[in-house]
């Protein structure tokens, strides 16, 4: 995830994503679902959507970040991609599969956090 942000996004797109993560996702958390910024994907996974025209770029961007909200009010960023560069449903499914594997790995490594969420 960090490699994608640092190496594949332009500076303008990285800034736009960082600002959106700070102003929208950090404030709303999983509440972004049901708004233009997100949707539930099931089994603890949701999608954060950014559609904007970053400063310094002429074209709009469509970025997708797949997330999980923990019981500790932490949002895990599990996977992401530039949907504008590759809008195919196949790419979307591949990124969701990656996010699901990472979420499963996280839940396997930290089972006490998983139990904590159920009790909340």
Domains of the chain, by residue range, sit at 2-119
Which tokens go with 57? 């770029």
- Average pLDDT, rounded, for the chain: 89
pTM reported for the whole predicted model: 0.87
Is residue 49's pLDDT more than 90?
A: yes
CA–CA distance from 60 to each of 16, 24, 56, 74 (Å)? Answer: 11, 18, 11, 29
In this prediction, residue 114 carries a pLDDT of: 57
Is residue 43's pLDDT more than 50?
A: yes
Which residue would you say has higher pLDDT here, 109 or 111? Answer: 109
Is residue 117's pLDDT more than 90?
A: no
Please identify which residue in the block is written with the tokens 């539930």.
40
């Amino acid at each position: 995830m960090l490699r994608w942000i640092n190496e594949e996004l332009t500076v303008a797109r990285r800034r736009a994503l960082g600002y959106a993560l700070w102003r929208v996702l950090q404030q709303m958390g999983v509440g972004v679902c049901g708004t233009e910024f997100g949707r539930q994907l099931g089994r603890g996974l949701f999608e954060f959507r950014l559609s904007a025209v970053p400063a310094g770029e002429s074209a709009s961007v469509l970025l997708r970040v797949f997330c999980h909200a923990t019981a500790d009010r932490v949002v895990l960023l599990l996977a992401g991609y530039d949907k504008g560069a590759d809008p195919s449903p196949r790419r979307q499914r591949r990124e969701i599969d990656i996010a699901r594997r990472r979420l499963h790995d996280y839940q396997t490594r930290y089972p006490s956090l998983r139990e904590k969420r159920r009790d909340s």
